[in-house]
Amino acid sequence: METLVSLCKRRGFVYPAAEIYGGFANAWDYGPLGAELRRNIRNAWWRAMVQERDDVVGLEATVITNPKVWVASGHVSTFNDPMVDCKNCQSRFRADHIDLAGPCPDCGMTGQFTEPRLFNMMMQTYVGPVQSEENVAYLRPETAQGMFINFENVLTSTRKKLPFGIAQNGRSFRNEITPGNFIFRTREFEQMEMEYFVKPGEHHAAYDYWRKERFRWFLRLGIKPEKLRYLMHPKEALAHYSIGTTDIEYLYPIGWQELEGIASRSDYDLRQHSELSGQQLSFFDEESKQHIVPYVVEPAAGVDRTFLALLCDAYDEETLENGEKRTVLHLHPTIAPVTVAILPLSRNEKLTPTARRVWELLRPHFVTQYDDSQAIGRRYRRQDEIGTPWCVTVDFQTVEADQAVTIRERDSMAQERVPIGGLLAALRERHDAAVARSAALAAGYEPELPKE
Ligand code: ATP
């Protein structure tokens, strides 16, 4: 993990937040490459969950909303984690994360834990100039409630029929007791959630469908299947709204940990909001002429945990045939922060105009980087280290003889010469082939669901 943290800082993926002020515990800012990578993750999710489907629509709800939402959802009364303190070193832990009879993970002393206390994880603020009880509001701890409270609006404006889903992506906030492990657990993070509404009774099939579908989505991003697994929550450990929850876990350097959760949420949320708002949230079924309160299946993923899984999965240190070492991120082309780097062989003025022309040709179509500093070998290494799938090199032969350039492929390091006129098509072809390959792999992969 440390190697990755340092690469992230050095190359501009992730910086410690507010570093010039000594940082801010467990908060991270995303640098230029990190911002691109996160955008690619969100876009890939939105494409797969909303745009490629005809049964899911999108939504963007506010972060701060009417606090009654959190009363109805159960977050005000039950969004609690049991917390213990070590009396010796004052470290704080989640009681369900450690062995309370064992030694303190920080100082090693045994028998020093306080009794577990419940701690509400919602972040509070005040809306308006007066800091009074009536003006308390919360920063959302999940994006899901935005979909439930807009259920009626979406139904009316889109005329969707069951089954259908509403998806949203955005920041959520939790006052986590034990944040840490780089960007794995932070107090401000970003979620990608979808509520899929079905007729009661159809939720078992929907739960299975989405558990598999979401597993496959990670394969489409190039994540290795052997690094993913399901973990089913035991019945007695389910959240208050859940009738079944399965996590998709990734084998991070810190071990198997939750990357995404898929929950079968029953009709809990819609019923709660109907009751507290006084507005009936249901679907009128033309066939049976009855109002149905749909059941909900929710795949809930994290942008930050996907980011971390992608980097861990892509990271490699290779020894080349000549004994040289290279660090490479084998990021999928749909995810890589830079898709094509344009590298003139040198800064020689003969090369610059053509190299710039090639750059202009590609810029509208791909995220590109132009780099003409230092030796070409070092520039290849730099691009390998940030996961750029293709480098395009402009050399003297290009300008003096053939108006052709070299495409150098990151993983195989194979080089191929193509005429500038056919360069865009050649890169497109490679890009589309990579997308098709992972899509075929994902489609053909049958993940084995855990036994009930
Ligand atoms: P955990 O058990 O790790 O606390 P959770 O089960 O509470 O997570 P969910 O409520 O299911 O998490 O949230 C859905 C997704 O949001 C998680 O799978 C994860 O990717 C992301 N997520 C939740 N909490 C955090 C956090 N503190 N930091 C980063 N990502 C988070």
User: For the chain, which domains are there?
Assistant: 30-70+141-311 (3.30.930.10), 338-441 (3.40.50.800)
Q: What is the pTM of this model?
A: 0.92
Q: Are 309 and 37 in contact (CB under 8 A)?
A: no
- Evaluate if residue 240 carries a pLDDT over 80: no
Q: Which parts of 121-218 are beta strand (E)?
A: 123-126, 136-139, 164-173, 188-198
Ligand 1, atom nearest to 193 Cα: 14
- Our answer on whether the CB atom of 304 is closer than 6 Å to any ligand 1 atom is yes
Task: Among 28, 38, 185, 296, say which to mutate for ligand 1: greatest number of ligand atoms within 8 Å of CB.
Answer: 185
pLDDT of residue 81: 75
Quote the ligand 1 centre to 300 CA distance (angstroms): 8
Query: What does the angle CA 103 – CA 104 – CA 106 come to, to the nearest 5 degrees?
Result: 135
pLDDT of residue 358: 98
Is the backbone peptide bond immediately before 163 cis, with ω within 30 degrees of 0?
yes
Please tell me the residue having the least CA distance from ligand 1 atom 19.
302
- What is the C-alpha radius of gyration for the chain, rounded to an integer number of angstroms? 25
pLDDT band at 39 (very low <50, low <70, confident <90, very high): very high
Ligand 1, atom nearest to 303 Cα: 20
Quote the ligand 1 centre to 316 CA distance (angstroms): 27
- Our answer on whether the CB atom of 176 is closer than 6 Å to any ligand 1 atom is yes
Ligand 1, atom nearest to 302 Cα: 20
Q: How far is CA 36 from CA 145, 296, 452, in A?
A: 28, 32, 40
Q: Are 37 and 59 in contact (CB under 8 A)?
A: no
Sign of the CA dihedral 172, 177, 178, 182? positive
pLDDT band at 1 (very low <50, low <70, confident <90, very high): confident
Report percent pLDDT > 70 for the chain.
100
pLDDT of residue 117: 79
Q: How far is CA 223 from CA 22, 233, 249, 414, 438, in A?
A: 35, 23, 12, 23, 9
Quote the ligand 1 centre to 419 CA distance (angstroms): 48
CA separation for the pair 16, 222 (Å, rounded): 27
pLDDT in tens, 56-95: 999 999 999 999 999 999 898 877 778 888 889 888 888 8
pLDDT of residue 79: 73
3-state DSSP assignment of residue 5:
helix
- Our answer on whether the CB atom of 185 is closer than 6 Å to any ligand 1 atom is yes
Please tell me the residue having the least CA distance from ligand 1 atom 8.
258
